[in-house]
Amino acid sequence: MAKKEKIKNLFDNIAPDYDKLNHILSLNIDKGWRRKAVREIIDNDAPLSILDVACGTGDFTIEIARKAAKESNIKGIDLSEGMMSVGREKIKSAGVNATLEYGDCESLSYSNNTFDRISVGFGVRNFEHLDVGLKEMCRVLKPGGKLVILELSVPSNPILRWCYKLYFLNILPAIGGIVSGNRGAYQYLPASVLHFPTPDKFIKMMHEAGFAKVKHKALTFGICRMYVGVK
């Protein structure tokens, strides 16, 4: 089975408990990370066309929609219908203007130069072919458009890294397994973080995909990192 099919099935299975577990296991720190990224995405008062890739249950999409100009066009795409079903209900409750639809980041169904901004919140590590996904996002961005990525990371400090791995590889799968009934999913998630390219390698990949002015910022001692690139 291809990685993307496994990812789709995994997130379909944990969708009902995903939000609750996500906020518990991250101690709600993820909300602050998203707010910082949204300030990078919504950097002016003009209406923007924005694509939120790997939108999941829509937390990032909703936060973007809340801050964007009223006339903005905001879409979220994901492989998992289970996650997006939860997200659509959240969008209704939030009363924001955004739509979620099926989309494969490696074969985006949009024309060249369509979007002013593209965001990815904690999803690039799930791309089956990361280089292809980055090139596709660059293709559908307008010239001068901006890509903003949030992704979990391993702290560089040795003591923090040891504590992080203890939590991520042992405690998180145990709690996630008890609450969701799917320990395997919560073993995959931390493993995917550990196998993600280091910041210098990922920045190089962004450059190779066509992005310029690439910058990177470590958040909360490097537990999360924000990457920004301009087409």
Distance CA 97, CA 91 (A): 8
Report which of residues 98 and 14 the model is more confident about.
Answer: 98
Percentage with pLDDT > 90 across the chain: 68
For residue 70, pLDDT beyond 80: yes
Which of 4-18, 134-148, 157-171: highest mean pLDDT?
A: 134-148
Instruction: Give mean pLDDT, residues 64-71.
Output: 96
What pLDDT band is residue 25 in, cutting at 50, 70 and 90?
low
- What is the number of H-type helices and E-type strands within the chain? 9, 7
pLDDT for the residue numbered 156: 85
Q: What's the one-letter identity of residue 142?
A: K
CA dihedral 131, 137, 139, 144 (to 10 degrees): -120
Q: Judge whether 219 and 225 are in contact, CB under 8 Å.
A: yes
Residue 225 CA to chain centroid, in angstroms?
11
Q: Shortest CA distance to 189 belongs to which of 174, 202, 208, 200? A: 174
* Average pLDDT score, the chain: 91
Report which of residues 206 and 14 the model is more confident about.
Answer: 206
**DSSP H helices in 73-224:** 81-94, 130-140, 158-166, 172-180, 183-194, 199-209
Distance CA 20, CA 11 (A): 14
pLDDT, tens digit, 9 for 90 and up, residues 153-166: 988 888 888 988 88
What pLDDT band is residue 24 in, cutting at 50, 70 and 90?
low
For residue 174, pLDDT beyond 90: no
Q: Judge whether 73 and 50 are in contact, CB under 8 Å.
A: yes
Instruction: Give mean pLDDT, residues 74-80.
Output: 97
Percentage with pLDDT > 70 across the chain: 97
